[in-house]
Chain A
Amino acid sequence: MSNSGHSEQLRLGFLAAVEVEGRGYVGGLLVTNQNGRPLEFQCTTPVKPDRTQEILYGKMLRPWLLGELIGQTLLQRVSIKPDMILTSDPDILELRNHIDIPVACTLDSTSSRSGQLDIEATAQMGGRKLRFHSTHQDDSKFVTRQSHLLPGQADLEEPLERVQEALNETIRTVMAR
């Protein structure tokens, strides 16, 4: 961390989505400071595509739904704007085509899901190797420049688990109503 303490800040947005059976997807965005302290959280109600959308979007349905639709909406809603978005879902990288800040995926290259996108550039941040959308490979340079603001061993997957838990809690509460 820099000696100037609070002068250099990095706000991270952790974006995740969970599927609710029969009701579509619920997305959540947690904005934290560089130390993982939560600043703001926004989540959606379930979003369900209709049959036409399912047919016409085909393989692009999830990227459209999670990235463009849910991700963009959440990013517009948060009052504390993050400097970059982190996700573990490669489909959410689609969001990068609709916003001006970097979107990085924490997904390990050995994961079966990582093959869904043509991801080449990587950057090290915290204890993770991050990967980027094929059309925005320059984002890795931004991340490399900012990585000194994060504690070396910061686990960038952990806040995503918090988002998942918060989404599950929200779903339980909403379903019970």
Chain B
Amino acid sequence: MSLPQPECHVINLQSRAELASAGFNPALKRIPQVDAVSIPLQPRPDFVPSWKPRRIPIKCIGLTLPEGLAFQPTKSEETLSDGVVLKRIDPPKKKQDNDEKPQRTRIKPPKNALSLQDRLFYLLQPPLETWLAGQELIMPFEPFGYQYEGIAWMFARHSALLADEMGLGKTMQTITGIRLLLRSGQINRILLICPKPLIPNWQREFRTWAEELPIVTIEGSGARRRMLWTMPGVPILITNYESMTRDLAEFSEEEQPKFDLLILDEAQRIKNRDSRTAEVARGINRRRSWALTGTPIENRPEELASLFEFLEVIPPRATPDLRQLSALAKEHILRRTKDLVMKDMPPRIDRDAELVLTDAQQYAYTVAEKEGIIQLNELGDSISVQHVFELVMRLKQITNYDPLTNESAKLERLVADMEEIAASGGKAILFSQWTKPLNWLAERLQQFNPLIYHGGVPTKHREPILAKFKEDPDAHIILMSYGTGAVGLNLQFAHYVFLFDRWWNPAIEDQAINRAHRIGVTAPVIVTRFICKDTIEERIDRVLREKREIAEAILGGGDNENVSLGLNASEIFGLFDLKKRTKKGTSESIGPVRPEAA
């Protein structure tokens, strides 16, 4: 296929323009006339956007903390008159597990602290470890972790029941709590009420843990006591329950002394809310209420209600049910047991010494039991718990020793054990329900230099007896009654405890055992319970063992040994198979009806 050949054409673009003659063309050729007009420049623009830094208004919320009580300046280590060396304790230690932060126990505001200022007050306090670490307050020993927690818990509470098991340091935690509250200006005047025999113990503990705090014990004549109750400038007053009840009745309503903090030690003393002691304690004018007891429930859960009424967390005469008690306990009770907190503490080893009565004891026992039961049966419906109780006591006394021949299976065993203990330089505590067997034993244990400590010993002689027991290496045994020796004493240097006869309530027995098995104990504590086989002791032991679980429902788990219930009337009757004869010649049980099992 052939393409067409391109062709070129020339196009003429030149065109011609001609001016038409219109008459105004000359005007276009004239030069225009120009005039100058003066225009002034504006000095500044009409609108300049401007911005100045504005100070944002700020509102503040403030809290000034109370100044607190002035203390003596801290000193270096020193030795007190009773030989206690006050040491500066180290500041908080770093934990071993590569944790950068040392252990710190912070004070948490209680749930009922509603105002912001109140909550901030607690939040702004330093960790207890720092506070107590020898910076401002000298502590003779570094508290355990659970004790720091206990102190922080008490510090933040107006109503507190510290119910730690005996031996965990309730006294020390309380004294330190008082010390910190005084230090932070929260309280100025404290009243501490305890059983009379424990006053020297508190005085000693205050000297050890808070030497700088002046304490005054209310004692002496009526006029002197009245003066002490109202004396200004004394931060801490100590008295006993009897003095409290008697002395405060002497003051008119307007004259009643006022306290920032009222502490009841062994607070189970007010378990009966109708008692005069409980009424007077509740009536004391105070802002904070603390109660201390190792056995918040000795017999019935309702006893807690009396303590809660004292703590002012339930209205007067209120009767909270178990669920309410449990809820109140969570907020207002702090209870720790040795099992939970003292994992490294030497154990307590319980052993039941099952003994066979000697021949003479067996004869006396059998005769007494037969005659006693016959007499009880003859009483028929007129029988009372007191009649049965008397027989129980008589039989228990025979299991201790035969009054005619002085034969005693328990004494034989005790002497054998004591020879071993004395040979190794050890010390033992023996508890009995009665003072008579204690005196009887003292005569027969002369080779062990026995000391006697019971209600019959005048109060002023008691401290020297305890001091001798601690210091005299030849004094190997102290014979104590449950009533006097079971509470408040620190005898952790004794590593053996004998329960020569049994108390009615294991809680009391535990209190007694914990005189030795407590903080500071360096070796296992061996507890020997003497139980004579086939006697009333065995039967009582069985009943008590079956009753060890009730209060656990209220106080929570971990309480495996201390909360127990005593025997009630029906159980005391049940110790003997008592029958009365009926007209039809058959027999039927006598005594109160046993309560239905729950």
Contact = CB atoms under 8 A, between A and B. Distances in A.
**By DSSP majority rule, is chain A's interface helix, strand, loop, or mixed?**
mixed
B123 A165 contact: yes
Contact of B74 (A1, A49, A74, A153): A1
Given A35-B136, A37-B136, A170-B116, A45 B61 contact: yes
Interface string B95-117: 00000001010000000000010
A56 to B, nearest CB: 7
B120 A56 contact: no
B123 A151 contact: no
Interface in B50-106: 51, 53-56, 58-65, 68, 70, 72-74, 91, 102, 104
B126 interface: yes
Nearest to A159: B126
Given A69-B56, A169-B120, A41 B63 contact: yes
Given A44-B58, A77-B62, A151-B135, A158 B123 contact: no
A78 B135 CA distance: 25
B21 to A, nearest CB: 71
Interface in B418-449: none
Contact of A40 (B59, B65, B72, B136): B65
Nearest to A38: B124
A77 B65 contact: no
B131 interface: yes
A47 B60 CA distance: 11
A158 B130 CA distance: 10
- Sorting the interface of chain B by its residue count into under 10, 10 to 19, 20 to 34 or 35 or more gives 35 or more
A95 interface: no
B455 interface: no
A111 interface: no
Contacts of B547: none
Contact of A158 (B64, B73, B104, B116): B104
| Interface bin, chain A | 35 or more
Contacts of B568: none
B320 interface: no
Interface string A95-138: 00000000000000000000000000000000000000000000
A74 to B, nearest CB: 7
Interface in A138-177: 151, 153-155, 158-159, 162, 165-166, 169-170, 173
Contacts of A39: 64-65
A78 B264 CA distance: 40
Contacts of A43: 60-62
Interface in B127-162: 127, 130-131, 133-136
A135 B26 CA distance: 82
Contacts of A154: 91, 130, 135
B125 A42 contact: no
A126 to B, nearest CB: 10
Contacts of B189: none
A94 B183 CA distance: 36
With a 10 A CB-CB cut-off, give which of A37, A159, A170 has the most chain B CB atoms. Answer: A37
Contact of B59 (A5, A6, A44): A44
B120 A166 contact: yes
Nearest to B114: A173
B529 interface: no
A5 B120 contact: no
Q: Which of A4, A5, A38 is packed against the most chain B CB atoms within 10 Å?
A: A38
Given A42-B61, A69-B56, A166 B124 contact: yes
Nearest to A78: B62
Contacts of A1: 74, 135
Contacts of B59: 44-45
Contacts of B58: 44-45, 47, 69-70, 73
A41 B62 contact: yes
A78 to B, nearest CB: 8
Nearest to B62: A42
Interface string B329-353: 0000000000000000000000000
Given A169-B119, A170-B116, A158 B62 contact: no
Nearest to A43: B61
Contacts of B91: 151, 153-154
A40 to B, nearest CB: 5
A47 B56 contact: yes
Interface in A25-81: 30, 32, 35-45, 47-49, 52-53, 56, 69-70, 73-74, 77-80
Interface string B155-183: 00000000000000000000000000001
A40 B61 contact: no
B439 to A, nearest CB: 55
A71 to B, nearest CB: 11
9 contacts: A5-B72, A32-B126, A35-B130, A37-B68, A37-B136, A37-B184, A41-B62, A41-B65, A166-B124
6 shortest interchain CB distances as A-B pairs: A5-B73, A153-B91, A38-B124, A36-B126, A45-B59, A35-B135
Given A41-B62, A43-B60, A74-B60, 10 more contacts: A30-B124, A32-B126, A35-B131, A36-B131, A41-B120, A45-B58, A48-B56, A49-B56, A52-B51, A170-B120
